[in-house]
Structure 1
């Protein structure tokens, strides 16, 4: 293995995604020196921010200042590779981002966007946090959540099996069993 392979092995990435929305409060929250130092203290080396339609531009950093290296981008056709390479994901409360991350078995902090009207997303995030599948935060509590997080306490998410319910519905409707 060359030097590049060794450095890739020790790379621990925090991936932040806001989806297609504008969630500047989350981007601002992860762009503070305190949060970046806390990531570094916990052994993370890189912070990659997908900032969506936001107008707040995070501060890029090479990581040589006792903090994590920081980079960002607005959109990508797919964030699947970013999620796969992440050691920790911090996401908006969109169900697609939540379940895609949980399916990969990645530790997840969901940050609720309080600016959204009819914020049903917070109900999903809070329910999954109560079941210990993820941590839930708000932009103003993110540093506290990161400082106190215990990844070992998270419970893996296993999607339910809908086949028994489908079978009952089919029986009720008079369709033959497969």
Structure 2
């Protein structure tokens, strides 16, 4: 790999869950090749409680540099340094990434019962704040990735809602 080439990192996170189907998908040669073709150079995987361990790579053969870990006391630095984030559909991971204005692909875990997380991901994708897919469609999402189509997410002010709730419950309102 050209040592002058700038580092463009993809960070994958599953939070504290087990989401082996996502980890297996990002570990495929096809997906790694798609990321390379989009100009990414590094793949860092936070695999949570999963039992599937991806293959590490030093990238010396022109492939992606791949590393993984299970948990970290904070993923904030990984998110900040990422050029692209691929995440499970947990609201904490989604909003932390959007707050940093990082391009985000949310992958829905179809194995979860009553998967309310998919509703959040699909709504934010419809509003063009992120991209949404499933392990089986992640390759296609990356292939068609158009980062210029993202609409920056602006978090709202919850103060009026909090005041309304406090007033309704009989608490003092400032």
State if a TM-score over 0.5 links the two structures: yes
Match of 2:20 among 6, 9, 24: 24
Residue in 2 that maps onto 1:102: 98
Q: Distance in 1 between matches of 2:40 and 2:67?
A: 14
- Structure 2's unaligned 5+ residue stretches are none
**What displacement does 1:177 show?**
5.4
Residue in 1 that maps onto 2:144: 148
Indicate conservation of the 8 Å contact 1:18/1:91, yes or no. yes
**What displacement does 1:67 show?**
2.2
- Structure 1's unaligned 5+ residue stretches are 1-6
Residue in 1 that maps onto 2:122: 126
Q: Per-residue CA shift, 1:110-140, capped at 9, x if unaligned?
A: 0000111111110110010001000001000
Q: Distance in 2 between matches of 1:142 and 1:22?
A: 18
1:138 aligns with 2:129: no
**How many pairs align?**
172
Change beyond 3 A, Cα 1:155–1:52: same
**What displacement does 1:10 show?**
1.4
Matches within 5 A, 1:76-87: 76-87=72-83
Change beyond 3 A, Cα 1:51–1:172: closer
- TM-score between the two structures when normalised by the length of structure 1: 0.90
1:117 aligns with 2:109: no
1:39 aligns with 2:35: yes
1:14 aligns with 2:49: no
Match of 1:165 among 161, 165, 168: 161
